[in-house]
Amino acid sequence: VASLASEQKLDPRTLRKLLIARGLVPFDEQVHHAFDAQAGRMVAAQMQRMVTVISLPKALGCSRPLADQLMDDRLLTPLAGDRPDASGRTRKAVARDEIDGVLARLAQAAPLVTTAPADFVPIAKAAEKAKCRGVDVLHLLFGGHLHDAVRLEGEGLAALRVDPAAVKALVRDLLTGLSSQKAFETLRVPNEAGWALFD
């Protein structure tokens, strides 16, 4: 860990936590523990591009609740996965590549326009009118059900505009079951345990 941290110019304590979470280093790792160098470098590369949960709303261009919902529904996954032994920043950090992936899906699903139709609204407003979560609007969009969404010039998810009437109709017709979050709440289990059961 020490040599990899030195080579990649990373904090050895944070790197160690992430390597433990990825299973490359045992939890009770001593000062010197050998592991596959290439696998270690891949973890280090992700760590260099990680975005902490605190910075996630800014990176996505969205509100804190929507960022949390993206994590809860696994549209974004923590660098350490769902491992309960992960700690510190690694437990609540996301790889930049995952964020870029969500924004790329957004760009593919919603064309860029200079002006949106007058009745189109941001995600939060559409969710409020449809009585659903903001992430449900994204599920509909990424699932190919919301066909007329557009993007204005701007940062990330905040630039998305959707037809609230279309969202409301799709929520009524398609989102008839429980969300993962609601299912886990009903089972009275934490998110990590719920996803472990699902897997």
pLDDT in tens, 21-71: 777 888 765 667 788 888 888 888 877 778 888 889 999 999 999 998 998
Q: Please write the tens of the pLDDT for every residue from 107-158.
A: 999 999 999 899 999 999 999 999 999 999 999 999 999 989 999 988 799 9
Residue 86 has pLDDT above 60, yes or no: no
Q: Please state, as a whole number, how many other Cβ atoms lie within 10 Å of the Cβ of residue 84.
A: 12
167-192 pLDDT, tens per residue?
A: 999 998 887 777 787 888 888 888 77
- Looking at per-residue pLDDT, the higher value among 11 and 85 belongs to 11
- Tell me what pLDDT residue 179 has: 78
pTM of the full predicted structure? 0.74
